[in-house]
Amino acid sequence: MADSGTNSSVSMTDVLEALKGIQENQAKLASEVESVSLRLDTLAPPIQVPSLDNGKLSALSAGASASPIRTTLAADEPDSGDTSPTTKKDAAQAQRSGFTSRIILTTYPKQIGINPLPLQWGAPDALTRGPVVVSRSSSTIRRRNGKYGYAKYCSRNLPDFTNTEPAANIGPFPQWGDEKKIVAMDPWGHLAPWLFADTIEKENVDIRPTIAITKAHMKLPELEESVRSGRLVPDGKVCLNAQGELAVTKFAVEPVWYLPGVAERFGIDEGVLRRSLFEHTGGGLTVYCFGDPAKMSDEKCRLALRIHDECNGSDVFGSDICTCRPYLIFGIEEAVKEAQNGGSGVVIYFRKEGRALGEVTKYLVYNARKRGEDRASDYFKRTENVAGVKDMRFQALMPDILHWLGIKKIDRMLSMSNMKYDAIVGQGIPIHERVELPEELIPADSRVEIDAKITAGYFTNGNRMTAEELKAVQGRMWDDIDH
């Protein structure tokens, strides 16, 4: 027979447990609400776009200037807890002018109830120094002490933009005035200080470019080899000389968010977006254009395009565990050929290191793979085990740059990614041909990655392996390497 005393004490424990749970949930909720309202206070006050006096430009942007654009500069720097007088002054100035500062603070003016962990930057030992705390998780938000944020522009005064004008003309295109087509960059970002010179001068408002366009020469050993071996033929005037050196027009783009538009692109509530945006967005991008930039938007000219997401280990340091640099080089080579044939070749380089999870996560995954069996069948699972997701990149905003460049169709897409393909086609830009990385350019150790991706839906004209076959694809073990 059951002991009634024990029974009642068990149910009392249950009740207490439940109450404790409710209490914890409430505390968490309160913290979440506070974090949202802090963001709303600090970020993105509604602003009016200054009217333009250039007839052509104002005609195109008329639609945009009629509606308040709630823009904010996305953070691609770490949060900053710098509450030095200068930063405070800048933040106050930014708020007065209706523009948000590039510096995103982890501690805010007027913020109450915080208790940052002590941090002594430059202290000789770790304990004295203290941990850097920047996370916005509910348990940590009041303890953050981030101090390493910085602005891209360090100048305290209005910068001098003499002679920094774009080195090539782009647009304006009708897409620039479509609030649904470009939501993650400022289509006028390359012209901002010149378009708004009056406002800058008369009202002392700080307006800075978020896009810059320049011309450059490139030397890549692979491309020099391509010329030596005859894979590429020098043209001397379009973009490739006899030494295998390239001439290129480069476009650097910093993100600028139109929050209602971004929220709509993702199909989420703007409040939800604001809460998560600043943690989950990567940096900017760079466009490398081969041939005459005017041809990118000319529908009569063919266009070859590679959308490349940053992979520092392979792109710069030649790691052979993935296909990133080979595909990047292949993309450049094909872009050059398209330009030489009278069309346009474009490579767009996005700062989305390690599927936007970063190199720390990436290296942890490498370890897990190499200490395990490193089979293609487990490739995505490994990342999910470590990071909780297999990919943090979202491609939904990627096509903005294509709209900005005036691109209306892509003849040759030098990418196998189904996510990129879907995002571009979903934005109404057709892709006529998809070009996969040729077999001979795939490093042996990167078969695990490429085969896993193909089986997961990446484009191929060749064989898509079964789950069973994928198990047989195995990477090199650490023991196979001469350290």
Size of the site for Zn ion (CB under 5 A): 4
Residue 311 as a binder of Zn ion (CB under 5 A): the answer is: yes
Q: Is 259 in the site for Zn ion (CB under 5 A)?
A: no
Least Å from the CB of residue 311 to Zn ion: 3
- Does position 195 bind Zn ion by CB under 5 A? no
Q: Say if residues 465 and 455 touch (Cβ distance below 8 Å).
A: yes
314 near Zn ion, rule: CB under 5 A: yes
Residue from 191, 227, 307, 324 touching Zn ion (CB under 5 A): that is 324
Closest distance between Zn ion and the C-beta of residue 457, in Å?
Answer: 18
CA–CA distance, 149 with 77 (Å, rounded to integer): 6
CA angle 232, 411, 424 (to 5 degrees): 125
| Closest CB 309 distance from Zn ion, rounded Å | 9
Q: What angle do CA 397, 402, 408 make, to 5 degrees?
A: 125
Of 106-114, 125-133, 147-155, 321-329: span binding Zn ion (CB under 5 A): 321-329
Residue 205 binds Zn ion (CB under 5 A): no
Q: How many Å apart are CA 118 and CA 123, to the nearest integer? A: 12
Considering beta carbons, is residue 176 or 327 the nearer one to Zn ion?
327
Residue of 52, 91, 322, 339 interacting with Zn ion (CB under 5 A): 322
339 touches Zn ion (CB under 5 A): no
Q: Which is nearer to Zn ion, 171 or 443 (CB)?
A: 443
Side chain identity, residue 279: E
Mark out the alpha helices in 316-378 (DSSP H runs). Answer: 324-340, 358-371
Instruction: Choose between 55 and 318: whose C-beta lies nearer to Zn ion.
Output: 318
Is residue 380 a contact partner of residue 312, using CB atoms and an 8 Å limit?
Answer: no
| Cβ atoms of residues 320 and 443 within 8 Å | yes
Is residue 191 within the footprint of Zn ion (CB under 5 A)?
A: no
Q: Are 441 and 326 in contact (CB under 8 A)?
A: yes
By CB under 5 A, which span of 161-169, 196-204, 318-326, 337-345 interacts with Zn ion? 318-326
Residue carrying the six token digits 């896009």: 211
> Residue 97 or 312: which CB sits closer to Zn ion?
312
In the bound state with Zn ion, the residue whose beta carbon lies nearer, of 238 and 324, is: 324
Decide if 377 contacts 336 (C-beta within 8 A).
Answer: no
Residues 6+ apart with CB under 8 A from 429: 399, 402, 403, 407, 408, 409, 410
- Closest separation between CB of residue 191 and Zn ion, Å? 35
396 interacts with Zn ion by CB under 5 A: no
312 versus 460: smaller Cβ distance to Zn ion: 312
CB-count burial class (<10 Å; 0-12, 13-18, 19+) for 65 = middle
Shortest distance (Å) from residue 355 CB to Zn ion:
9
Residues catalogued as catalytic: 391, 393
Choices 164-172, 224-232, 315-323, 465-473 (CB under 5 A): range interacting with Zn ion: 315-323
Sign of CA dihedral 360, 361, 363, 368: positive
Q: What is the nearest approach in angstroms of Zn ion to the Cβ of residue 319? A: 7
- Please classify residue 34 by burial: count the beta carbons closer than 10 Å to its beta carbon, then call 0-12 exposed, 13-18 middle and 19+ buried: middle
Nearer to Zn ion, 91 or 414 (CB): 414
Q: Does 442 bind Zn ion (CB under 5 A)?
A: no
With binding defined as CB under 5 A, does residue 416 bind Zn ion? no
Do strands 256-258 and 246-253 pair parallel, antiparallel, or not at all (unpaired)? unpaired
Q: What is the x/- site pattern for Zn ion, positions 79-108, by CB under 5 A?
A: ------------------------------
Question: What's the token pair of residue 82?
Answer: 């710098």
**Rounded CA separation 344/342 (Å):** 7
Q: Which residues bind Zn ion (CB under 5 A)?
A: 311, 314, 322, 324
